[in-house]
Amino acid sequence: MREPESWDKQKRFLRLSCIIITRILKSTAESGESASTYIHTSMHIGSIIRKELEKQGKTVVWLAEQLSYSRANIYKIFDKSSIDTDVLYRISVALKFDFFKIYSSNIEAYK
């Protein structure tokens, strides 16, 4: 029985997460910084949204149309380090990508 395609995406996400965490741990060990502080302060949701949009080959115009926003407002979202949950939910639905998992993984880092 073949695994669902979504499992492949989850496995890729987990592999990438492990690589990122390993790099963070190495860099924080060298600097003496706390890894959880680095993760929290380095997360910029606007940049993450922009990268996912580019990864999917979608345009700012496309996302603006999906959200009924102007292009200028989309660019403002890209500049934000935090975002309203309703807006993030709408972006997650439009891009079919769960941006909330990024925040959830940061919460797990503090446990």
User: Residue 61 above 80 pLDDT?
Assistant: yes
> What pLDDT, on the 0 to 100 scale, is given for residue 43?
76
pLDDT digits (tens, 9 = 90+) for 2-51: 555 656 666 776 676 666 666 666 665 665 555 444 444 467 899 999 99
User: Residue 72 above 80 pLDDT?
Assistant: yes
Mean pLDDT, the chain, as a whole number? Answer: 79
Contact 49, 76 (CB under 8 A): no
Comparing 43 with 95, the larger pLDDT belongs to 95
> What pLDDT, on the 0 to 100 scale, is given for residue 88?
95
Q: Return the exposure string of 85-102: e unless at least 16 CB atoms fall within 10 Å of the residue's CB, then b.
A: eebbebbbeebebebeeb
